[in-house]
């Protein structure tokens, strides 16, 4: 799959669209989901042209991969989600229902999230 730089997260990274920023460094941006599915619902994205999990792990430099997951942990700490727990989700491809084709991880928490629903 070719990366399409007109996707909404690419536009957020270019600051063409505003976001409710939670954390940013040279490699990663985290911001609140516009349609939260839990009291805390944050999207964490790498700064790079990667469509999904597969693309990221095949093509991103090791430094960025390392920094990305290190940052997720920082955001979890910043949001005080360590004690009660949280869920990380990444959708990849059509069957997952992935809407935005820029790699992202959902961080959800702030309540008991129940069990995963598979339908």
CA distances from 10 to 14, 21, 47, 54, 101 (A): 6, 14, 9, 18, 9
Q: Which residues make up the interface to ligand AMP (CB under 6 A)?
A: 8, 17, 19, 33-35, 43, 91, 97-100
Angle, CA 14 vertex, CA 30 and CA 93 arms, to 5°? 60
**DSSP for residue 24:** E
Between 39 and 97, whose beta carbon lies closer to ligand AMP?
97
Between 32 and 65, whose beta carbon lies closer to ligand AMP?
32
Find the shortest distance in angstroms from Cβ 12 to ligand AMP.
6
Find the shortest distance in angstroms from Cβ 4 to ligand AMP.
13
- Cα 9 → chain centroid: 10
Considering 27, 41, 102, 104, which one is annotated as catalytic? 104
Handedness of CA 92, 116, 66, 21 (dihedral sign): positive
Angle, CA 59 vertex, CA 3 and CA 45 arms, to 5°? 60
Between 99 and 118, whose beta carbon lies closer to ligand AMP?
99
Residue 104 annotated in active site: yes
Q: Which residues are catalytic?
A: 104
């Amino acid at each position: 799959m070719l990366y399409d730089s007109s996707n909404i997260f690419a536009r957020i990274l270019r600051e063409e669209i505003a976001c409710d920023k939670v954390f940013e460094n040279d490699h990663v941006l985290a911001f609140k989901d516009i349609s939260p599915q839990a009291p805390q619902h944050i999207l964490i994205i790498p700064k790079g042209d990667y469509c999904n999990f597969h693309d990221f792990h095949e093509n991103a430099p090791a430094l960025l991969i390392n920094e990305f997951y290190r940052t997720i942990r920082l955001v979890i700490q910043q949001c005080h989600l360590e004690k009660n727990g949280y869920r990380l989700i990444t959708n990849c491809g059509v069957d997952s229902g992935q809407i935005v084709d820029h790699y992202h991880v959902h961080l959800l928490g702030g309540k008991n999230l129940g069990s995963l629903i598979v339908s």
